[in-house]
Structure 1
Amino acid sequence: MCADGTDPSHTYIRSQCSIGVHTVSVRREIDAPREVVWGVLDDFGGVAKYNPNVTTSSIVAGPESGPGATRECVLRDGGRIEEEITEYVPDTGYTVNFTDVGKFPLRENVVDIHVESVDGTRTAVTMTSHFRPKFGPLGWLLAKTMMESKFRDTFDEVLEGLDSYVHTLETPAQSG
């Protein structure tokens, strides 16, 4: 942890807001090859394996992964959300539209997940949310004062969980 409170293994990309849409992005480098990290992320119904905020997750419609794959996530607090992959580039990333935001004060939320190889053994994962809050001007104020930081914290937790989970997997090179 740096003196300013940031983690040097993360890149915090500045929050942006345009015409009511807020954008928050977090990048983390993981000590694992891109193929291993992508394999975990591409198991769309398996997000509960690494997201500490999700107790269960499953595919409820469409294919297991790729465009149209839809999952339901039951959250740690008992709430639930539903997400659908709307754009998909194999081995690179996907875009998830929250088709049911549950109790969250959001009109819409779209999250982009992007994976890129840093070198043969490290992978950068970037999560970016584009969200529009409910409640008009009050929602905008809530987004600026609380929701943007909550999204950043949540992305940090998810990427930390992903990093930890990836290291519990046995890769072919380790099974020797």
Structure 2
Amino acid sequence: MLHHVESVIQINATANRVWCILDDFGGLDKFSVGVQKSLIVGNKETGIGAVRYCMFNDGSSLHEEIVEYEPHKHFRLVLSEFTLPMESVSASFRVEPLSETTCEVKMEMDFVMKLGLLGRLMGVVLIRPLMKSVHKKLLRGLAYHALTGEKISDKLPPREDLVRAIALLP
């Protein structure tokens, strides 16, 4: 069973600024809560075939490889070497300008769980809500970093600081 999660955010930064941050493929640790370090593996920094290694604060890690890439618009990546009980995971980012000073970023994730019926249940009850929370934090961190240039650490800035970065804060 394929599980799908998507999140959208409107950011008070230009689409170009946000794209440049996302396109710095080895720079995930600059805006993603819980990512201790992200490093490019190999010689390709971005585009199809670029691979990054992500180490998380909890000691886990994974690899991500770009498999679709449309400059200044969209990329999709496939995750591998992760510890969650999943058969496959892919994620994508899409950046669309809304005005000269704001943009919308959409993040989607598709995953298939291991463990048969138990995995399906875990996917619905545990993993989908967990991934939705991860998306929310990642996108808010992206917005804050795009506006301020400040690196996100192990937690997001206070809500009053995020309000300036996000065009529409739910």
TM class by shorter chain equals 0.7 to 0.9
Equivalent residue for 2:111? 131
- Give unpaired runs (5+ residues) of structure 1: 1-19, 171-176
Equivalents in 2 of 1:159, 1:134: separation in Å? 27
> How far apart in 1 are the matches of 2:68 and 2:81?
18
Separation in 2, partners of 1:52, 1:43: 17
Structure 2 gap segments, 5+ residues each: 151-170
Q: What is the CA distance between 1:61 and its match in structure 2? A: 2.4
Find the counterpart in structure 1 of residue 19 from structure 2: 38
CA-CA distance at 1:99 after TM superposition: 2.3
- 1:169 Cα deviation from its structure 2 partner: 3.1
Match of residue 92, structure 1, among 73, 76, 81: 73
In the superposition, the TM-score normalised over structure 1's length comes to 0.83
User: Equivalents in 1 of 2:92, 2:22: separation in Å?
Assistant: 12
For the Cα contact (< 8 Å) 1:62–1:68, is it kept in 2? no
Are 2:95 and 1:148 aligned? no
2:169 equivalent to 1:164: no
| Identical-residue share of aligned pairs (%) | 32
Residue of structure 2 in register with 1:5 after alignment: none
Size of the aligned set, in residue pairs, is 150
Larger Rg: 1
Q: Which residue of 1 aligns with 2:48?
A: 67
Q: Secondary structure at the match of 1:121?
A: coil
Corresponding letter in the other structure for 1:86: V
8 Å contact kept, 1:62–1:70 = no
Larger RCO, structures 1/2 (Cα 8 Å, 6+ apart): 2
